[in-house]
Amino acid sequence: MKPISAFALAGICIITAVVVTAGNYSTLLTRYPLPFATLLLEQSFWPRVVISLVCGAGLALAGLLFQRVLQNPLAEPGTLGIAAGANLSMSAALVFAPNLLVMGLPLLALMGSATAIFILVALTARQGFVPLSVILVGMVISLYGNSLNTLLVLFNHDYLSDLFSWQAGTLTQSGWRSSELLFITLILALLAALLLRRPLTVMGLSDQHANALGMSVLQVRIMALGVAVVLSAMITSQVGIISFIGLAAPAITKACGLRRFSQQLIATVLAGALLLLLVDQLALRYSPTAGDIPAGAVTSLLGAPLLLILLIRQRAVSPPQIPRGSSAKPTFTTLQLSMLLMLLLLVLPASLWFNREPSNAMALHLLAWRLPRVIGALCAGMMLACAGVLIQRLTNNVMASPELTGISSGAALAIILTTVLTHEPLASLLPAAIAGSVIAMMLLFLFGARSQFNPEKMVLIGLSFTSLASSLTMILMLSGDPRALMLLNWSTGSTANIDEEMAIVALCIAAILCPLALLMQRWLVLLGLGQLTAQSMGINLRRSNLLILLLASLLTAAGTLLVGPLSFIGLLAPQCARSLGAHAFRQQLCAAALLGGLLMVLADWLGRNISWPWPISAGLLTAFIGAPWFLWQQRKRSN
């Protein structure tokens, strides 16, 4: 395909941005009296326009530097966890150590960004910064940081609700201070990038070429990363998290046919400035309440599809194989399974009776409130664990799970959209959750087929779905809808909304679907030997794959409806079962189901008691374990 004309594309962007901005300018003049409109123009509108241009240019420059240094077209502050690290650092300082605010938000943001990039480099350096692994680790760091930040908002909602709105990437201004600070930072970063122009051009070839020319690759990489991290942290400290721009601007520049780094540098900065200005002015014009939808929330919605497109264009790599039940000697015994069952039977009544509670509380009344939550947590843990085993076996990928492959997020998206459009209560949304999870599973395998089901790429596709669901939840949270806080609590894994009716339905569904998973043993064992082998043994590939996917989707939908999309039980339970020696399918499925139920019940009990009387969502507690576990497993694979 012939490259797009850079001048034509720039002209379209400039004309559109000017027209929309002029329209907002005229609206402001006609809506308010002239003296007040003049004040708004001088202290709010024009500073907002300037900071949109500056932040867009800065994020585009940071994305270009990250992509050039890491040789990764998917790299930008959002996908690397840099922005999430800065955001979390500022929130934690505000809640736990407000005295640190005297240091200034930029320095706090820089500390968080530096921590995130240090963890990223430490986990991926031994792999030689393989592109998919870098983005995978970065997005899990981002997911983990955003989950922690969400927990802080839930615990301190009264005085952090405005912070939540700001962190979503708002460009609303009340003066010129932020614009001036970020403009100076952008100029310094541009000068540094221009000084590094020649070494970065050489690095674009390969590290070997750079070393042969006597250039210190490590030194250049550290300097360029330092510039990008500082620029990202400064922008995040002033306007919150704004994604997509660091991905889109370099991608557009390359689509225009610009190959020289010096050309890309100027064109990317201009493209980023125009893109963010256009997005923000469109959000300002079409927001139902005069621009209260942050630009960062809008760019997040655009970023997930762009990430999917870029992932599809990545070169396919054959996935590494993992040990299957046919080659591994099972060491898991019936005694171990019985001990797990006994432990679960002991934990269930303990979680009901041994709790922190008011001194004058009536135990039976509290028991009637706790019992549905415990039953719901148990059923959700078992179903998500079974779904995790099915997905890992089918994809031959031990890092797959309903949460990381986007199946849970598909169910969450369907639940959120149905709640907004139909005003139905959460308990009646199981059909919507099933439809969402089935669609997500089909899309996942449609995209995965193009990459030969590469494990890292499939998880990244799933994380793109997760990012899209999180963006929609954020927009709903900021819309003023009274159901927003309820959906935010649910999305973090709270069991507080599980009533007696939901618990009974969940128990019936788990009693039907979990045993059905045992019937998939023959298909999964033969599919593990290869599709051609399975077909030669009489397996109908289309029917078997469809039924396994459908069962996994049903299990995921029911579990997600109960405890939200981010529990990580589908990742943790199968891994724990395998570590106990349960390698055969039937053994792993039974052990994982018991472990999943046990982990979720324990998480629910800890959430009710660890910071009583303020509850912590069970899903967040398991996510805090699951994300580090995933990163640790990723590091083990690289050794």
Share of the chain above pLDDT 70, in %: 79
Which position has the token pair 């998939």?
520
* pLDDT above 80: residue 55: yes
* Whether residue 137 is found in the same domain as residue 27: yes
Q: How confident is the model at residue 15 (pLDDT cuts 50, 70, 90)?
A: confident
Q: What value does the mean pLDDT of the chain take? A: 78
Q: Are residues 610 and 497 in the same domain?
A: yes
Judge if 273 and 389 occupy the same domain.
no
Domain containing 247 — which CATH number?
Answer: 1.10.3470.10
pLDDT(318) > 60 = no
Span 330-359, pLDDT tens digits: 577 788 888 888 888 888 888 878 777 666
The pLDDT value recorded for residue 129 is: 72
Amino acid making up residue 62: A
Same domain assignment for residues 51 and 136: yes
For the segment 182-222, what is each residue's pLDDT rounded down to a tens digit?
999 999 999 999 988 888 877 666 666 666 666 677 788 88
Residue 588, pLDDT above cutoff 50 = yes
* Averaged pLDDT for residues 24-29: 80
328 Cα distance to chain centroid: 34
Query: Is residue 463, in this structure, part of any structural domain at all?
Result: yes
| Per-residue pLDDT at 611 exceeds 50 | yes
Express each pLDDT in 277-302 by its tens digit.
888 888 887 765 544 677 777 787 77
Residue 358 neighbours by CB under 8 Å, 6+ apart: none
Task: Give the per-residue pLDDT at 319.
Answer: 41
Band of pLDDT at residue 321, cut at 50, 70 and 90: very low
Which of 556, 464, 562 lies closest to 505 in space, CA to CA? 562
Higher pLDDT, 9 or 109: 109
- Residue 100 is predicted with a pLDDT of 74
User: Is residue 280 domain-shared with residue 342, that is, in the same domain?
Assistant: no
The number of folded domains in the chain is: 2
Q: Is residue 328 part of a domain?
A: no
- With respect to residue 199, please indicate whether it lies within any of the assigned structural domains: yes
pLDDT tens profile 484-507:
666 766 777 777 778 888 888 889
Evaluate whether 557 touches 436 at the Cβ level (below 8 Å): yes
pLDDT band for position 275 (50/70/90)? confident
Residues 247 and 371 in one domain: no
Domain of residue 254 covers 6-310
Answer whether the bond into residue 613 is a cis peptide, omega within 30°: yes
User: Is residue 316 domain-resident?
Assistant: no
Task: Return the closest-CA partner of residue 186 out of 329, 360, 50.
Answer: 50
Which residue bears the tokens 């952090």?
160
Does the pLDDT at position 59 exceed 90? Answer: yes
**Which tokens in the block code for residue 313?**
């264009």
Sign of CA dihedral 73, 74, 78, 84: negative
Whole-number Å distance between alpha carbons of 202 and 179: 34
pLDDT for position 190 = 93
What does the pLDDT look like over 452-493, one tens digit per residue?
666 666 667 777 777 777 777 667 666 666 666 667 667 777
Establish if 385 belongs to a structural domain. yes
First-to-final CA distance of the chain: 41
Task: Identify the weakest region by mean pLDDT among 68-77, 212-221, 510-519.
Answer: 212-221
Higher local confidence (pLDDT), 557 or 617 = 557
List, in order, residues 6 or more apart from 60 with CB less than 8 Å away: 245, 246, 249, 250, 268, 269, 271, 272, 273, 275
CB 47 within 8 A of CB 180: no
For residue 179, pLDDT over 70 is answered with yes
Same domain (yes/no): 199, 114: yes
Average pLDDT over residues 532-545: 72
CB distance 90 to 239 below 8 Å: no
Q: Which two tokens stand for residue 183?
A: 């403009």
> Are residue 399 and residue 463 in the same domain, yes or no?
yes
| Amino acid 379: pLDDT | 92
Q: Do 251 and 305 contact (CB within 8 A), yes or no?
A: no
Query: Smallest Cα–Cα separation from 390: which of 204, 548, 225?
Result: 548
Evaluate whether residue 396 is within a structural domain.
yes
- How do residues 88-146 score in pLDDT, each as one tens digit? 888 888 777 777 777 777 888 888 888 888 888 888 877 777 776 787 788 778 877 87
| 358 lies in some domain | no
Q: Identify whether residues 56 and 147 lie together within a single domain.
A: yes
Mean pLDDT score, 356-376: 73
Cα 64 to Cα 72: distance, rounded to the nearest angstrom: 10
Confidence of residue 449 (pLDDT cuts 50, 70, 90): low
Higher pLDDT, 490 or 418: 418
Are residue 276 and residue 391 in the same domain, yes or no?
no
Q: What is the dihedral of CA 546, 550, 556, 560, to 10 degrees?
A: 130
Could you tell me if 137 and 32 lie in one domain? yes
Q: In sequence order, which residues have a C-beta less than 8 Å from that of residue 51 and are 6 or more positions away? A: 171, 173, 178, 179, 182, 238, 239
| Per-residue confidence (pLDDT) for residue 288, from 0 to 100 | 56
pLDDT band, residue 326 (cuts 50/70/90): very low
For range 5-30, the mean pLDDT: 75
Nearest CA to 441 among 560, 553, 548, 546?
553
Q: What is the pLDDT of residue 167?
A: 65
Q: Are residues 295 and 416 in the same domain?
A: no
Residue 577 lies in a domain: yes
Residue 637: partners with Cβ closer than 8 Å, 6 or more residues away:
none
Token pair listed for 344: 């679960």
